[in-house]
């Protein structure tokens, strides 16, 4: 994330005293950008910028407004970035704790992502909300996101359980697409949590989206996403959508069998709290030749 550098006190005065420009040029650029992102989300940002701004004359007021908008957006986004990093660290700590007690890491890996400003404003448009920074904070709950990839289905619900019982986390919403897959076969567990983040001006509770899925679910979702953008859902007489749904059902059956196998191969129960407490009180001085 680029470093935020206030350029001068003059910029501060602009932020406080200047209303955003409503010029037709800026409105036209915003409308065009929203439509372009919706139709071609994979197009390089630089190419979109050139297409939308080529030959347009921006006034000094327009430039001032864009400068203020960029500064304000980065100020907001760094808050979400901090929350995402803190949540990722918390999940890594949880994984290490579970490794100690269960002799394995339930979390295979964690991926993080931040929504881009164009995608945020495009989503506000789909929601029928005003495309402002205030609306961005009020209505968009998945600006910061983590994807947690685990080995088994039971690991998904174990992590959900642990997070629900952390007293400083607020679980805002849970959508279980594992027990209730989407019509296309998509399976994953989505949750929105608010995590406390401390800044110079105090503590704020910032939302982060967490998607928890198994390695097999992630494999399916990656291929489905790739096929969707290649637009090959009807090709050579093959109904790709139906095939994907069948593959999802097959993966679900395999996961259930792998879960049974994993349980059968567990040779001993995890070390309990009682045993851990007893180990902490053991006096090893005699055995060490003291």
Nearest to 186 by CA among 156, 221, 153: 221
Nearest to 163 by CA among 137, 134, 190, 203: 190
Query: Hey, what are 191's tokens?
Result: 């949750």
Q: Which of 209, 224, 252, 255 is catalytic?
A: 209
Phi, psi of 225 (to 5 degrees): -65, -40
Nearest to 148 by CA among 224, 195, 208, 76: 208
Angle CA 209–210–214, to nearest 5: 150
Nearest to 169 by CA among 194, 144, 202, 199: 194
Q: Which residues touch 38 (CB under 8 Å, ≥6 apart)?
A: 122, 125
Q: Which residues touch 203 (CB under 8 Å, ≥6 apart)?
A: 196, 197
Largest CA distance in the chain: 84
d(Cα 274, Cα 272) in Å, to the nearest integer? Answer: 5
Residue 170 bears catalytic tag? no
Distances (CA, A) of 86 to 118, 225, 227, 256: 25, 28, 34, 33
Give the active site residues. Answer: 209
């Amino acid at each position: 994330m680029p470093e935020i550098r206030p350029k001068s006190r003059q910029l501060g005065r602009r932020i406080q005293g200047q209303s955003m420009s409503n010029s037709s040029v800026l409105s036209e650029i915003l409308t065009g950008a929203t439509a372009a992102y919706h139709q071609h989300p994979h197009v390089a940002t630089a190419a979109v910028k050139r297409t939308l701004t080529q030959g347009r004359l921006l006034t000094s007021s327009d430039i001032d407004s864009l400068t203020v908008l960029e500064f304000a957006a980065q100020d907001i986004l760094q808050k979400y970035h901090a929350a995402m990093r803190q949540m990722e660290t918390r999940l890594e700590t949880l994984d290490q704790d579970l490794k100690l007690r269960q002799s394995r890491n339930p979390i295979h890996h964690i991926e993080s992502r931040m929504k881009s400003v164009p995608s945020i404003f495009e989503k506000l448009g789909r929601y029928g909300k005003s495309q402002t920074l205030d609306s961005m904070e009020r209505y968009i709950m998945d600006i910061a996101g983590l994807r947690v990839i685990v080995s088994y289905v039971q690991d998904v619900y174990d992590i959900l359980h642990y997070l629900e019982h952390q007293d400083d986390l607020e679980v805002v919403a849970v959508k279980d697409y594992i027990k209730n897959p989407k019509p296309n076969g998509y399976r994953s567990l989505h949750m929105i949590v608010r995590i406390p983040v401390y800044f110079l001006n105090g503590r704020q509770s910032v939302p982060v989206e967490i998607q928890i899925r198994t390695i097999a679910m992630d494999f399916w979702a990656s291929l489905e996403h790739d096929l969707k953008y290649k637009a090959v859902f009807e090709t050579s007489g093959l109904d790709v959508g139906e095939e994907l749904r069948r593959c999802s059902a097959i993966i679900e059956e395999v996961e259930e069998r792998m879960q049974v196998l994993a349980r059968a191969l567990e040779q001993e129960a995890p070390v309990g709290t009682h045993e851990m407490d007893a180990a902490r009180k053991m006096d090893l001085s005699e055995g060490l030749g003291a």
